[in-house]
Amino acid sequence: MSRQPLPSTPIFPLQSVLFPGGYLQLRIFEPRYLDMVSRCHKAAQPFGVVSLIEGAEVRRLDPQAGGAFARERFQTVGTLAHIESLQQVQTGLLHLRCRGGQRFRLNHSHCLPHGLWMGEGDLLDADAGVAVPADLRPAADLLRTLLHKLEQGAAAADMPLQPPYHWDDCAWLSNRWSELLPLSSDARQRLMQLDNPLLRLELVADQLDQLQLPPA
């Protein structure tokens, strides 16, 4: 199957990994992102989220580089973020709620003079629909229990898991656990990049076994 190209797209490097179907809240105050977010919202276009390898989410000067900005490096595989709501809290401050969409692979990226990254590449195929096998259903049961407990003390909009829920889908279940488990960014990145949702869920189940969580 031929790859669908990713046209020139604004890129937002973060200290986290966004998964397809994932829920992302952001506070935007840097000029380079305020304009980008406003443009994406008006055009109903997504932006790309990639995980930082080097550098910080907020652009900083490097005192050892003669006043130049600190270097930023990031993963080449990321996820499109679709803006679901945008609220201007005050002048120069936006609150965003986004949902993870399709994954992509960057073939080229460049930084504009004001610090915004742009990238081009290919969109990756969505995960195949694979039903959760019987031996991995405890992972779904445990996540249901966790969600029920979280619902007791948090507003619906602040929940880390948002509907629709797909308890019998390997991709959805493995992605939600990958977001919640105490993993390094590198480990999350490896899980997100996997093309096999069943293998991803099996690896997640191994992590759950290591944590020795009580059964649901």
What would the pLDDT profile of 165-182 be if each residue is shown by its tens digit?
999 999 999 999 999 999
Strands 4-14 and 117-123: antiparallel
Model confidence pLDDT, tens digit, residues 92-136: 899 999 999 999 999 999 999 888 999 999 999 999 999 999 999
The whole-number pLDDT of residue 150 equals 77
The whole-number pLDDT of residue 67 equals 66
Fold of 134-211: LON domain-like fold (1.10.4060)
The whole-number pLDDT of residue 71 equals 83
Nearest-10 crossing angle of helices 137-151, 170-180: 50
Domain 4-123 has CATH 3.40.50.1000: no
Q: Where are the alpha helices (DSSP H) in 106-157?
A: 137-151
- Tell me: cis bond preceding 164? Omega within 30 of 0 counts: yes
**Residue 117 pairs with which residues in a beta bridge?**
11, 111
Domain boundaries, the chain: 4-123, 134-211
Cβ atoms within 10 A of the Cβ of 82, count?
Answer: 17
Mean pLDDT of the chain: 90
Model confidence pLDDT, tens digit, residues 43-64: 999 999 999 998 777 877 666 6
Spatial contact of 192 and 19, defined as CB atoms under 8 Å apart: yes
